[in-house]
């Protein structure tokens, strides 16, 4: 757990009650921490507080970035008392009142990560140094997330990660000032592998195409380990540069590899292009080893499914959230987002909205924007009502633990948004792992850095 220089005098936390229900947050029993409003970077002095939204507005993950920005703008609207309040009414913690954060109106600045680590660090640095942002959030690449998380740790601001699925984000590259709500490669594999075994059997040989950066590496490692543990073999793993748009030269060798499953460890535009290439090569019509050839996409999103069109039908994968969920939190978010933008939100939008709300809630419960106060408020925080069921921010690595969705492309979609169906909600216990699991080994969480 991270340490701080604060003396805690009544920090507001939410804990589990008997039977798994969540207790209402208790009130402060005295004044908040001694240094609660001073001694940290970018402490707000006026009537506003600035958040930095750092998303891919260009590059292969730009569609995800556009939806992230929509969600951030909606979250700010709700925090400032606009709209219908969205998930604030369903959130198990009830400290957010629509009067900003700690009485300060929420303002925001944006940056373009370009899905490049250097560009993402530069835009985050500018928002911190020039715009006075107290928190940075966003991104759709784990390479970006790891880079920006490191910058925020050095600078002394909180980083609420957007889409980052690499094990390393809360593994060897974890930082005290960083928090991830999104799930990871290990969780995807743990949820997906048993479904693949049940549908396709244990006697399978997989060929992997893998995005050549931290997410692809750990996603591939995770799904290979999980499927091999159930009897699958691995024919090959080929790394593909993130900037690739034409995957034909990578797909062609699959035809003579002896594999009967192609695993596309790709995301965003990469996945759309590689899947399209695989279909054009006729892989889905082939039979190999006496079995129908299958394609798997371990990490799915509605935006990817829309981009790939007909090609996603029947293809299995996993996702962090889906707009068709019927819990009260999901329904509230889908309603708010749909009324504002005219279509349902993606998992990118959901995670970024939720991360903004969790930051605001932590500041309210801590009574300060000081990063060390935020860290203390989020570590071990248990909550519900934000679309994923009961969820916990584990103190030791700042990873959220919750149920994981296994989905597949719908055979008969009813609209351009109704492309994925949930085939299984995998319980948290099946995807959880020890803090010292080998796939997450190395690195230290360290101490919170208030920056001043």
| Residue 268 binned pLDDT confidence (cut-offs 50, 70, 90) | confident
Closest CA to 302 of 262, 247, 351, 354: 351
pTM of the model: 0.91
Question: Could you read off the pLDDT of 315-329 as tens digits, one per residue?
Answer: 999 999 999 999 999
Q: What is the mean pLDDT of residues 110-127?
A: 94
Distance of alpha carbon 253 from alpha carbon 259, whole angstroms: 10
Q: Kindly report the backbone phi and psi dihedral angles of residue 110, in degrees, each rounded to the nearest multiple of 5, phi listed first.
A: -125, 155
Q: What is the mean pLDDT of residues 74-87?
A: 98
Q: What is the mean pLDDT of residues 130-159?
A: 95
Distance of alpha carbon 159 from alpha carbon 175, whole angstroms: 9
Say which residues have a Cβ less than 8 Å from residue 307's Cβ, sequence separation at least 6: 63, 269, 272
23, pLDDT greater than 60:
no
Question: Could you read off the pLDDT of 153-184 as tens digits, one per residue?
Answer: 999 999 999 999 999 999 999 999 999 999 99
14, pLDDT greater than 60:
no
The enclosing H or E element of 39 equals: none
100, pLDDT greater than 90:
yes
Q: What is the mean pLDDT of residues 86-91?
A: 98
At 38 the pLDDT is 59
Which residue segments constitute the domains of the chain, with CATH numbers given? 48-183+323-397 (3.40.50.2300), 186-319 (3.40.50.2300)
Average pLDDT score, the chain: 91
57, pLDDT greater than 90:
yes
8, pLDDT greater than 50:
no
């Amino acid at each position: 757990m991270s340490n701080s220089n604060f003396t805690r005098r009544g920090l507001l936390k939410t804990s589990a009650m008997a039977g798994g229900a969540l207790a209402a947050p208790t009130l402060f029993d005295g004044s908040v921490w001694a240094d609660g409003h001073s001694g940290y970077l970018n402490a707000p002095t006026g009537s506003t507080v600035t958040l930095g939204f750092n998303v891919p507005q260009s590059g292969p993950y730009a569609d995800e970035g556009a939806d992230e920005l929509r969600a951030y703008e909606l979250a700010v609207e709700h925090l400032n008392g606009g709209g219908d309040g969205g998930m604030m009414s369903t959130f198990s913690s009830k400290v957010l009142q629509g009067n900003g954060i700690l009485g300060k109106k929420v303002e925001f600045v944006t940056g373009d990560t370009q899905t490049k680590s250097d560009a993402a660090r530069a835009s985050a640095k500018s928002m911190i140094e020039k715009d006075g942002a107290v928190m940075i959030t966003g991104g759709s690449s784990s390479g970006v997330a790891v880079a920006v998380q490191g910058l925020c740790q050095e600078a002394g601001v909180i980083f609420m990660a957007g889409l980052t699925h690499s094990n390393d984000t809360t593994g060897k590259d974890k930082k005290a000032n960083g928090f991830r709500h999104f799930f990871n490669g290990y969780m995807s594999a743990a949820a997906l592998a048993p479904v693949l075994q049940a549908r396709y059997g244990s006697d399978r040989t997989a060929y992997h195409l893998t995005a050549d950066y931290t997410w692809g590496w750990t996603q591939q490692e995770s799904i290979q380990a999980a499927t091999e543990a159930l009897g699958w073999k691995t024919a090959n793993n080929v790394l593909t540069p993130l900037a690739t748009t034409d995957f034909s030269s990578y797909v062609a060798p699959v035809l003579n590899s002896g594999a009967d499953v192609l695993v596309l460890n790709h995301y965003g535009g990469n996945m759309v292009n590689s899947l399209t290439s695989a279909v054009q090569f006729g892989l889905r019509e082939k039979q190999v080893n006496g079995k129908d050839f299958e394609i798997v996409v371990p990490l799915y999103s509605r935006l990817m499914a829309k981009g790939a069109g007909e090609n996603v039908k029947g293809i299995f994968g996993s996702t962090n959230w889906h707009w068709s969920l019927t819990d009260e939190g999901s329904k509230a978010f889908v309603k708010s987002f749909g009324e504002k933008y005219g279509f349902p939100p993606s998992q990118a939008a959901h995670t970024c909205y939720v991360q903004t709300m969790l930051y605001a809630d932590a500041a309210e419960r801590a009574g300060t924007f000081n990063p060390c106060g935020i860290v203390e408020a989020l570590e071990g925080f248990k909550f519900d009502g934000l679309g994923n069921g009961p969820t916990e921010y584990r103190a030791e690595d700042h990873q959220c633990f919750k149920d994981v969705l296994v989905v597949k492309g719908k055979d008969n979609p009813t609209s351009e948004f109704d492309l994925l169906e949930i085939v299984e909600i995998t319980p948290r216990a099946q995807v959880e792992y020890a803090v010292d699991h080998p796939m997450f080994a190395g690195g230290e969480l360290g101490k919170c850095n208030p920056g001043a």
